[in-house]
A and B are shown apart, each in its own frame.
Chain A
């Protein structure tokens, strides 16, 4: 199988699996006072320190969560609630229009249920935000700003530092979803100026179901989960020591190897892009051609449906993604592609290929071999629909 969907999830690193298994064999709740608990707590706290060091944060700023979605929800809702509690008129959320649904739907939920007002920042045709639009939108009713570090669909890297600086100047907390960025591009929490940053394990070789919100020490967030008061009282729940240990191993490793990984994987990605263009000359390469994740290639195939291409490539052992959200399994046109100014047809004709630490030239070759027949068939199937 040619697995070209690492942005969905990437295989766990061997070291992470070993660290997980070793910790899972031990007993102990990190909150317990006895020796077993202390031992588990030591694992958790060492992991916290390793993650903090790798990402330019203080250990106390690492709030472990059950993954990226929870961290995004905690940041958006938690910071909104805390800021509004501080001053009731502060109900505006500024968000980029290309956020992952974990952020997008959290903001929309606040609008529907909590009286929030949303300002969606536009992107250009490359999916890139213009800091000037944030400067214009900032006002004294803003509860928070949220903009992802890099886009999960088209891979465009955002000018996060500039955005964070603008928000900081207006004294508004800035959250960034860096789920796709960590390990791919340099990410330093302190240097970025962000107030909160989301990271998750399974996108960088750690386990699924564990992530973290890096939350500045002076940033208040109202908890989503109440209970035992773990994690600064912001995120209750028994700490998942094996998951956290494996997560820390993966974060540390992916950050340490980021430069050489990015160089290798970008070269492989460029080979993929060249290969795809070679067999499908009319393909459109989406996203920022330069400021993008090294592992991401995203195309529109005119006249084809992404769904049909995915089915045909899957049948040939090539795994990729249409990158769009599903509603009862029915693909909706991607809000990211639409925000970039594309019409429904182009949005629906898109496919995302993402590489990862196990990717090889053979994966790219398998795609390039399978693609011509798939495109031809998908185009025929697309004709039937459009001829109506």
Chain B
């Protein structure tokens, strides 16, 4: 229970369905006091109190579990290391994989619980298939697609068939004071939303060149290649205009040479996406190509593709090229379905 409206209603629904529910708030900051004010994340004292208050209203026990050390090792340190390696990580996905549906789940199972319930907007029905939420703009199946079969079998997402507006209305009807609490958007451990500043503090300034992919010329400089994301256009501060006058985008980041390579939009286009560390939960492992759609970043538009799984690598041949495919993000394969698009599998874009 983060202290937000979604997890509060999810807990209330699980309790109302007759489950023996215990609320757990994760303390993820090593020093909660430092986030006392201003932070719109999920680890402030205020959030902890909101979660406790919701649990009291629902009438379930409530505990704070200290996951700060594991969160820092598995999510924050990983986040920084991934950027340092020129990739663009998704920390929410990593938190689901390593904390919520691993450390928390394992502890819960050991303590005698059967499953972890969260307020994620995704559907997980009796067929064991993970599907998109009915509320497509709020759908979070992308950040859950990293979960494997054992993890999904121990998970419950009671909000998947409900829109966010309905969740808020239900929270109000249930007397939960978090009904009107604003959504959190930013990365919870970067309270001020300044990702670049957060990285600079940890990785230091490391000035290097911005190179044009077509001409090979140095067209600008940067304070650290890690601060860039493939597909990024803003904030490049390129002094030399492109010969064709068109905007340039980050095409790649090369940590070894500390170089950011830029070029025109067309050069961003990718026809094949490969991902490692694959998981497949949408049925039996495929023994051949699978016609499906792939989503290449959170809230990205799905692209028709043919996916194959071989030798620990998930390969997606895109039916039409996609732009801004950033290593470190997840490639998630979906099978379109009238009852909610089904997550087939996922991998980390390499």
Contacts and interface: CB of A to CB of B under 8 A. Distances in A.
B48 A384 contact: no
Interface in A313-331: 314-315, 326-331
A315 B21 CA distance: 10
A309 B18 CA distance: 24
A307 interface: yes
Contacts of A385: 107
A338 interface: no
Contacts of B68: 330
Nearest to A384: B106
Contacts of A314: 61
Contacts of B64: 326, 328-330
A311 B48 contact: no
Interface in A213-270: none
Interface in B55-79: 61, 63-66, 68, 70
Contacts of B288: none
Given A328-B48, A329-B25, A329-B27, A312 B112 contact: yes
Contact of A330 (B27, B106, B107, B111): B27
A331 B32 CA distance: 13
B173 interface: no
Interface in B33-86: 33, 45, 48, 52, 61, 63-66, 68, 70
A331 B64 CA distance: 9
Interface stretch (A43-51, A103-111, A196-204, A373-381): A373-381
Interface in A353-388: 373, 377-378, 380-381, 383-385, 388
B22 interface: yes
Among B27, B64, B111, which residue has the most Cβ atoms of chain A within 10 A?
B111
A123 interface: no
B110 interface: yes
Interface residues of B, number: 22
A118 interface: no
B97 to A, nearest CB: 16
Given A311-B61, A329-B64, A384 B110 contact: yes
A235 B164 CA distance: 53
A308 interface: yes
Contacts, number: 52
Contact of A315 (B25, B61, B65, B106): B61
A330 B66 contact: yes
B107 A331 contact: no
Contacts of A377: 110-112
Contacts of A326: 64
B63 A307 contact: yes
A31 to B, nearest CB: 37
B189 to A, nearest CB: 15
A328 B61 contact: no
A307 B107 CA distance: 12
B106 A328 contact: no
Interface residues of A, number: 21
B48 A378 contact: no
Contacts of B27: 328-330
Contact of B33 (A311, A315, A327, A331): A327
Contact of B63 (A311, A383, A384): A311
Interface in A249-300: none
A344 to B, nearest CB: 12
A190 to B, nearest CB: 43
Contacts of B106: 384
Contacts of A308: 107, 111
B56 to A, nearest CB: 13
B107 A381 contact: yes
A314 B66 CA distance: 19
Contacts of A330: 27, 32, 64, 66, 68
Contacts of A331: 66
B338 to A, nearest CB: 41
Max chain A Cβ within 10 angstroms of own Cβ: one of B27, B64, B112: B112
A112 to B, nearest CB: 15
A18 to B, nearest CB: 30
Nearest to B25: A329
A57 to B, nearest CB: 39
A384 B61 contact: no
Which of A311, A314, A377, A383 is the most central at the interface, judged by chain B CB atoms within 10 Å of its CB? A311
A331 B27 CA distance: 10
Interface in B18-32: 20, 22, 25, 27, 32
Contacts of A381: 107, 110-111
Nearest to A382: B110
A129 to B, nearest CB: 31
Contacts of B66: 330-331
Contacts of B61: 311, 314-315
Interface in B90-117: 103, 106-107, 110-112
A327 B32 contact: yes
Nearest to B46: A328
A380 B48 CA distance: 27
B42 to A, nearest CB: 12
Nearest to B112: A377
Interface in A89-128: none
A384 B107 contact: yes
Interface string A28-41: 00000000000000
Nearest to A380: B110
A375 B229 CA distance: 49
Contacts of B111: 308, 311-312, 377-378, 380-381
Given A311-B22, A330-B64, A383 B52 contact: no
Nearest to B73: A388
Contacts of A380: 110-111
Nearest to A309: B111
B11 to A, nearest CB: 16
Nearest to B26: A330
15 contacts: A308-B111, A311-B111, A312-B112, A315-B22, A327-B32, A328-B33, A328-B48, A330-B32, A331-B66, A373-B112, A380-B110, A381-B107, A381-B110, A384-B107, A384-B110
Given A384-B106, A388-B70, 6 more contacts: A307-B65, A327-B32, A328-B33, A377-B112, A380-B110, A381-B111
Which 3 A-B residue pairs are closest in the complex by CB-CB distance? A329-B64, A381-B110, A328-B32
